[in-house]
A and B are shown apart, each in its own frame.
Chain A
């Protein structure tokens, strides 16, 4: 028998309204695998994200609750959407290690650190 092994990381994220939060994560490359009023299960290759309903979010310590690596195009989309809502928002920054980094908040207010790789030399030309 041939087994196609797949393993995924699972992340449980409390949100105030899973259905409201889901589109934010869809633009980050997730698709909805299952959904009800209390829980939306989202997936992208290698990662499963479960948005769990909570009545109130615990205060964070300024650190992101979730870190996601996306393509430049996806990061650009997220940034442009946020920029439309808040034109003075600081855009993605370059980390000293060499990646774009953008700190967004999902509709529940969870901090999400989104990173994207630098443009490839070949792709630039």
Chain B
């Protein structure tokens, strides 16, 4: 049973709890011993019934308590139990009775697991590491015994010729891993000590050896036997001191420098974040770096304290230094440090102490521990010298010795002056070095305090900034509890801030819809609050959700300002009674309510954009942006980034923060692609993909942004002809032309001319504060006869221009505008009747191939049939024109 406990992989504490529950007193005794709970082990053993098993248990408990003699006596009562024999052999070996130990081991079978470990251990101690390794060949590798097997094997590997430190480290690695699960502190300490020996045997491993020694030290001091502690001391004597000295010399200052540099960097970052925030830039990167810098500083502080502890385990005075440094780092403000530093310095030895600050030409006293504390009088040169050199000095006479400890600090260097009493005047060797360490640590602590203050100030500024923001801001934690709310948000919610803070939104009356929107991280969603409708934009972050609330009316206005385009026109602005025109309007009204893409065609000036705006304003999307982009007006190379946006750094000249494209800006509104017929062919494929996938990816970005805008396209071109020419993609045409509205040219609805003339003259008069202007009948007749190549736009410009030239008191246009006279005399071609430019035959052939391929969805056989040529010929021509 006991051997089973030694080779069980379950955590020892779990086994112990189970044994307690089941009142297995012997198991409790053994497990408590393995966990170094010696009192519990002794008590349980006392309660256990007597017998050979109990005797074996007693031997184990005694051996684990570091009492081999008692273990031997107990083992002899076990009636030849193999485990007891093995424990006895170990006890004998521990007391240097190796011969007798071998005799005991000889009574055991070679396969006995504990016996194998003891054999190996004695072999290793006797300088026969090879034998030790052989003894362990079949030893178990699980449970506590397994961990011990690993350690003894590692020790043997290290003692071999040549030593195999790598294999030894691997063995210990595995052993410590098992021990981490099991939880046997003494065996863990032994493994750490063995690791220290491995590192000490490795070139350059001195510092690491010291660290492992430092880890082993508290475990073996608290839980190890006297044999362990003796071994620990030997390790310190053998290689610890050199490693420790090196650690002190090299590591300590590095740690201190790390703390100082970390604090200084954190301060810079705090300032940078604050400046970026104030300047409207995104401070998140600087803030993330700030947190990292603070974390590093904290880690370095821990390293520093750890190094001090590890460095000089058995030096009382260094222990005091560690305590003082630890206490220093608990002080958060410059004021606390000023007040406490002299008192803390006294703990390193001295009668009184004062803290002086360099000020101009002199020094002022900031704090003192007593009336008798030294001032700067008479020692100013020494104080300056200590500050210049940066290390502590001891000056004065035998009767009155002063220790001067410089503390460098960006906001005013300080000096601690310690007065030693005559009785303690003899400074121990190395005292100045320890005082220098205190000075460096104090300097780091001051810098840290300064950084903490800067961070606090930045947080206060953030809060003030948040308060100044006109948008409502709401921050919720993971549980939906409101952590922060600014005045604007509280105002929109119609509740005082104290009622909101610390509550969930669902707990607040009338805010259920807002809670839902925030929980699902809604983007630009309209939510009705009790008093006002708001636009909610919520964003998840690691700690919860941040939401902005904007009053709907203001949000709409802001969006329109941002995109620089607004839908001002409604169907009332579209004037005409011609049946073709009215048909188009009727279709447009119907389509406004249906969420499908619309293609509006018509000659220039027929009012395509007006109609698009009217559709938008009559649609459910009217409260969302109307964003127009004139495809023909934007340079080809900029069109893609204009439409789809770009991430920062996507190309030279890109804005540092990236740029949202028109698709994004249109959001849930309407995107007008004006003059779509002029879109470059290659761009059409990209647009098609966006329309098909309903998602857009910014240039240089990887994230697909959903497209929620309705697309309305306009063109003055005959797209079907453009498709035939191979200049426009058939698939895009079908995608855009779900509904096709055609606005007739004005010459086809000449009957509307008087209405339009009157409409634009009335508008002009109202705009300019003039009396209504009419048109004489003969002039109107001429206007109706005119072909209006520029359509309604030309008409509006013409009549407003003529009206503007009328004398101030005139109210009628009596003369035919000169343009119309010229037009009548010339036989200008109609705008739609411009002849196609001359194109080389090869180009025509290439376009024919493209058209056929496009119409046949890339099917070459069908395309060849459509063109009436053989497939082989088609392929040859494709190759010639580079078509694929």
**Which A residues fall within an 8 A CB radius of B?**
1-10, 33-34, 38-39, 41, 43, 45-48, 52, 72, 76, 91-94, 96-98, 100, 118-119, 121, 123-125
Interface pair A5/B462, CB less than 8 Å apart = yes
Interface pair B177/A91, CB less than 8 Å apart = yes
Interface pair A125/B36, CB less than 8 Å apart = yes
Contact among B170, B223, B541 with A93 in the assembled complex (CB-CB below 8 Å):
B170
Residue B35 CB within 8 A of the other chain = yes
A125 and B35 in contact, given A8-B542, A94-B173 (Cβ under 8 angstroms): yes
Chain A residues whose C-beta falls within 8 Å of the C-beta of B463 in the assembled complex = 1-3
CB distance from A114 to the nearest CB of B (A): 13
Which residue, A8, A33, A41, A96, has most C-beta atoms of chain B within 10 A? A96
Residue B608 CB within 8 A of the other chain = no
Residue ID in chain B nearest A4 by CB atoms:
B483
Residue B740 CB within 8 A of the other chain = no
Contact among A1, A4, A43 with B542 in the assembled complex (CB-CB below 8 Å):
A43
Residue B448 CB within 8 A of the other chain = no
- Which residues, 472 to 530 on B, are CB-close (under 8 Å) to A? 475, 477, 483-486, 497, 501, 521
Chain B residues whose C-beta falls within 8 Å of the C-beta of A46 in the assembled complex = 291, 542
A8 and B173 in contact, given A38-B704, A46-B542, A52-B702 (Cβ under 8 angstroms): no
Chain A residues whose C-beta falls within 8 Å of the C-beta of B195 in the assembled complex = 94
Chain A residues whose C-beta falls within 8 Å of the C-beta of B292 in the assembled complex = 9
Given A43-B542, A121-B219: 15 more A-B contacts, CB < 8 Å: A1-B497, A3-B475, A3-B483, A4-B543, A8-B541, A34-B540, A46-B291, A48-B542, A91-B177, A94-B176, A96-B199, A124-B183, A125-B35, A125-B36, A125-B183
- Some 14 contacts from A to B, beta carbons below 8 A apart, are A1-B466, A1-B467, A3-B462, A5-B462, A10-B288, A41-B540, A48-B542, A72-B180, A96-B169, A97-B211, A100-B177, A100-B180, A119-B179, A125-B183
Chain B residues whose C-beta falls within 8 Å of the C-beta of A34 in the assembled complex = 521, 540
A124 and B188 in contact, given A4-B483, A34-B540 (Cβ under 8 angstroms): yes
Contact among B284, B287, B466, B702 with A3 in the assembled complex (CB-CB below 8 Å):
B466
Interface pair B174/A91, CB less than 8 Å apart = yes
CB distance from B94 to the nearest CB of A (A): 23
A125 and B484 in contact, given A3-B459, A4-B543, A48-B542 (Cβ under 8 angstroms): no
Residue ID in chain B nearest A73 by CB atoms:
B181
Residue B49 CB within 8 A of the other chain = no
Interface pair B205/A118, CB less than 8 Å apart = no
Residue ID in chain B nearest A34 by CB atoms:
B540
How distant is the Cα of A72 from the Cα of B463 in the complex, in angstroms? Answer: 39
Residue B212 CB within 8 A of the other chain = yes
**Which 8 pairs between the two chains have the least Cβ-Cβ distance?**
A124-B185, A8-B542, A6-B543, A94-B173, A7-B291, A93-B173, A119-B180, A4-B483
Interface pair B459/A5, CB less than 8 Å apart = yes
Residue ID in chain A nearest B220 by CB atoms:
A121
Residue B415 CB within 8 A of the other chain = no
How distant is the Cα of A96 from the Cα of B463 in the complex, in angstroms? Answer: 45
Interface pair A98/B290, CB less than 8 Å apart = no
Which residue, A5, A76, A94, has most C-beta atoms of chain B within 10 A? A94
Chain B residues whose C-beta falls within 8 Å of the C-beta of A121 in the assembled complex = 185, 188, 218-219, 222
CB distance from A77 to the nearest CB of B (A): 11
Chain B residues whose C-beta falls within 8 Å of the C-beta of A8 in the assembled complex = 288, 541-543
A7 and B212 in contact, given A91-B174, A94-B169 (Cβ under 8 angstroms): no
A33 and B219 in contact, given A3-B466, A96-B205 (Cβ under 8 angstroms): no
Residue ID in chain B nearest A48 by CB atoms:
B542
Chain A residues whose C-beta falls within 8 Å of the C-beta of B704 in the assembled complex = 38
Residue ID in chain A nearest B205 by CB atoms:
A96
Interface pair B290/A1, CB less than 8 Å apart = no
How distant is the Cα of A93 from the Cα of B36 in the complex, in angstroms? Answer: 26
Residues 542-581 of chain B, each 1 if its beta carbon lies under 8 Å from chain A, else 0: 1100000000000000000000000000000000000000
Which residue, A45, A92, A118, A125, has most C-beta atoms of chain B within 10 A? A125
- Which residues, 177 to 228 on B, are CB-close (under 8 Å) to A? 177, 179-181, 183-185, 188, 195, 199, 205, 208, 211-212, 215, 218-219, 222-223
How distant is the Cα of A38 from the Cα of B695 in the complex, in angstroms? Answer: 13
CB distance from A43 to the nearest CB of B (A): 5
CB distance from B180 to the nearest CB of A (A): 5
Residue ID in chain B nearest A90 by CB atoms:
B170
Residue B172 CB within 8 A of the other chain = yes
CB distance from A82 to the nearest CB of B (A): 14
Which residue, B541, B703, B704, has most C-beta atoms of chain A within 10 A? B541
Interface pair B287/A7, CB less than 8 Å apart = yes
Residues 150-177 of chain B, each 1 if its beta carbon lies under 8 Å from chain A, else 0: 0000000000000000000110111011
Interface pair B179/A98, CB less than 8 Å apart = no
Chain A residues whose C-beta falls within 8 Å of the C-beta of B176 in the assembled complex = 94, 100, 118
Interface pair A118/B215, CB less than 8 Å apart = yes
How distant is the Cα of A124 from the Cα of B477 in the complex, in angstroms? Answer: 36
Residues 30-49 of chain B, each 1 if its beta carbon lies under 8 Å from chain A, else 0: 00000111000000000000
Chain A residues whose C-beta falls within 8 Å of the C-beta of B467 in the assembled complex = 1
Contact among B219, B541, B703 with A124 in the assembled complex (CB-CB below 8 Å):
B219
Contact among B172, B284, B466, B702 with A94 in the assembled complex (CB-CB below 8 Å):
B172
How distant is the Cα of A7 from the Cα of B287 in the complex, in angstroms? Answer: 7
Residue ID in chain A nearest B502 by CB atoms:
A2
How distant is the Cα of A91 from the Cα of B181 in the complex, in angstroms? Answer: 13
Residue ID in chain A nearest B218 by CB atoms:
A121
Interface pair B172/A98, CB less than 8 Å apart = no
Residues 428-447 of chain B, each 1 if its beta carbon lies under 8 Å from chain A, else 0: 00000000000000000000
Interface pair B183/A119, CB less than 8 Å apart = yes
Residue ID in chain B nearest A125 by CB atoms:
B185
